[in-house]
Structure 1
Amino acid sequence: MPGGAADLGLPYFAPARPRVIAHRGLALAAPENTLLAFAHALALGVVHLETDVHASADGVAMIAHDADLSRVAGRPQRVGDLTVAELARLDLGEAQHMPTLAEALEAFPDARFNIDLKSADAVAPAIEAIRAGRAEERVLLTSFSERRRRAALAQLPGVATSASGPRFAAALLASVVHGGPVVRAALRGLHAVQIPTRAIGLDTVSPARIRAFHAAGVEVHVWTINDEAEMRRLLALGVDGIVTDRADLALAVVGALE
């Protein structure tokens, strides 16, 4: 498979490609973004877990995708309205609670965590949890916000990171208008682009674009892909990773390639 960040020697990228990145764990028989969902994904042989972090009212990094609790717990409050103790008492189903980032890092010491920093107030507590867990080598930090991404990397230099929304948009437009050198400049200092198949009205994973991203030294991870035929198509194009709610299916597709 074409060279990307796996050639840079970062431990996060040490496992062989293509990567199956379990989006919020495996939530077929467990609530998303819970320790049980992560355990189910890892039991299948997944190495990389995608997850999200907000901050509690008392400044603890909590694993949660949404800013509020309406979808996952049927409550109107925001994650940031409740303390870590109050959030731990929520019943998310299957005897699961909302874990802290520190809990997840401790529970699964061999897993790689792909962490989306969802809010500005989550940056400092996420950094604290990563440092306390000595997990710098097994996390990738990202955010749709370039400001949040930069703030985190300033405190954890050398940690793996993927493009924010603005950085990727710049690289994608550069691939249309300018070509290789400007794409490389747009992606400098990054290790991956984690992208949908289309953005700003453009196909992000054409063969030419994948070549341009690889030439810039980054891996290409595509989200959120749950269809087996689409997984096979993307892997045939040369993407490095599939971000998926169906890690079970993706592992089977990757296994068939070996």
Structure 2
Amino acid sequence: MLITAHNGCENTVQNSFEAIKVAVESGADVVEVDVRITGDAVPIVFHDEDILVNGEKKKISEISFEKFRKGGFFNGIFLEEVFEFLKDEDVIVNLDVKTDDAIVPMVEMVRRFDFFDRVFATGCEYDRVVKFKKLFPDFRVFLNVPMFSFSGKESLKGLYSILISSGACGINMNYKYCFPEFVKFFHKRFFPVSVWTVDAENDMEKAIRMEVFSITTNYPVKLRKIIENSC
């Protein structure tokens, strides 16, 4: 079972160097970052669509890389810097893709750092997965499933058909809608099920008992201790 450190884990600032450093030091197997692009298609690690510039909301996609660098309003980081920081660390990177137009620049950056075996993409519902896999068939992409409960074998079979047709390699879902039969169904068909974002101790214990593939959490240190104590 893998531990994924949510961006901003252990009460750090989201998508910051501190957050990534703390995630690595926590012993997490996977580090999650959010990916968007600047107005000139440079991959940036940022969650929100907008940013405050001199008190005014501006879209990330409308601001150039150079302006981010010199504007004095941005304290975040770029994907290139994340890969540079992590290149000698033994962690996998979960690239949570926020927009379709981030796909190509992001994958180009992955290629540049030869990180193909160290990354996978999430944040992708059906249409985005299909687009992603059409452009890059060999890239590992998880399907985000809708946030509602699945019940009965027929609904699981229906989701399985969607998963197969999308080309995704696994499922990423809100832990609240995950249940043991769901995990068993997909694991028996060689599709991993990952859950997010699990912070309460009792919810961590439930996810562990279900034997999900990965648990995303803001508290990887606590989760590691619970996993070790459950063995």
| TM-score of the pair, normalised by structure 1 | 0.77
Residue in structure 1 matched with residue 163 of structure 2 by the alignment = 187
Does residue 65 (structure 1) correspond to residue 51 (structure 2)? The answer is no
Residue in structure 2 matched with residue 50 of structure 1 by the alignment = 32
Contact persistence 2:197–2:216 (CA under 8 A): yes
The AA in structure 2 aligned to 1:211 is K
How many residue pairs end up in the alignment? 226
Residue in structure 2 matched with residue 78 of structure 1 by the alignment = 59
The AA in structure 2 aligned to 1:136 is F
Whole-angstrom distance in 1 between the partners of 2:61 and 2:156:
42
Contact persistence 1:170–1:186 (CA under 8 A): no
**Deviation per CA, 1:152-195, whole angstroms, max 9, x where unpaired?**
3333322221113xxx349975x536266544322223322111
Whole-angstrom distance in 2 between the partners of 1:171 and 1:25:
26
The AA in structure 2 aligned to 1:22 is A
Specify which of 122, 139, 152 is matched with residue 142 of structure 1. 122
The Cα shift of 1:98 comes to 1.8
Residue in structure 1 matched with residue 225 of structure 2 by the alignment = 252
Residue in structure 1 matched with residue 20 of structure 2 by the alignment = 38
Whole-angstrom distance in 2 between the partners of 1:223 and 1:78:
27
Whole-angstrom distance in 1 between the partners of 2:114 and 2:214:
25
**Deviation per CA, 1:122-179, whole angstroms, max 9, x where unpaired?**
1221111111111111111133443333333333322221113xxx349975x53626
Structure 1 residues 74, 240: CA separation in 2 closer, same or farther (over 3 Å shift)? farther
Structure 1 residues 230, 86: CA separation in 2 closer, same or farther (over 3 Å shift)? same
Whole-angstrom distance in 2 between the partners of 1:170 and 1:185:
18
Specify which of 167, 172, 178 is matched with residue 154 of structure 2. 178
Residue in structure 2 matched with residue 22 of structure 1 by the alignment = 5
Whole-angstrom distance in 2 between the partners of 1:34 and 1:226:
20
**Identity across aligned pairs (percent)?**
21
The Cα shift of 1:81 comes to 2.2
The Cα shift of 1:74 comes to 6.9
The structure that is strand-richer by fraction is 2
Contact persistence 1:141–1:149 (CA under 8 A): no
1:159 match: secondary structure: coil
2:57 match: secondary structure: coil
